[in-house]
Structure 1
Amino acid sequence: MQHRCYLKGKTSERRPPVAGISDVAKAKGRRRGNNQSSRKPKRRTLISLHQGGVHTTTEIAELFGIARSTVYRAIQRATTAPPR
């Protein structure tokens, strides 16, 4: 299918979409994002610090370099979900 580009006075054909970077990474078997196995020990430490009652949520967030909302979410998941 052709369409006319009125700004340049040329005709061009539509090209099929090019595979994105994530598609290429998936094809190679590579995953994006953080490794989930490295999060579990950190999450356990975070929960133990909170349950110890020595540190506040803000202090825990600063220690781990994460947002307070992430600390609250981890605590909520640990207290409502059954242990794995």
Structure 2
Amino acid sequence: MRSLPRSFRYARMVARALKSRRHPILAHIIPIRRCNLACAYCNEYDKVSSPVPTSEMVRRIDLLDALGTEIITFSGGSSPSA
């Protein structure tokens, strides 16, 4: 029963994607690439990149919203060890 709302959202997303190809379906945002982990599967990290400034991140998210992006996901590194 819990998966019903998720299935409905997924079906709605697919229907909207088929209706119009003029907007992004999915955008993946990585606000920080710095990470103190070394996960074997991950290629999205390094030890030298600066975080994207908050004002720039907000601008990018606003642009994605203006485009009608269906899904925005976030990922990124963990804090450096103290």
* Structure-2-length-normalised TM-score: 0.30
Kindly name which structure, 1 or 2, has the bigger radius of gyration based on alpha carbons: 1
Structure richer in helix, relative to its length: 1
Where relative contact order (Cα < 8 A, 6+ residues apart) is larger, the structure is 2
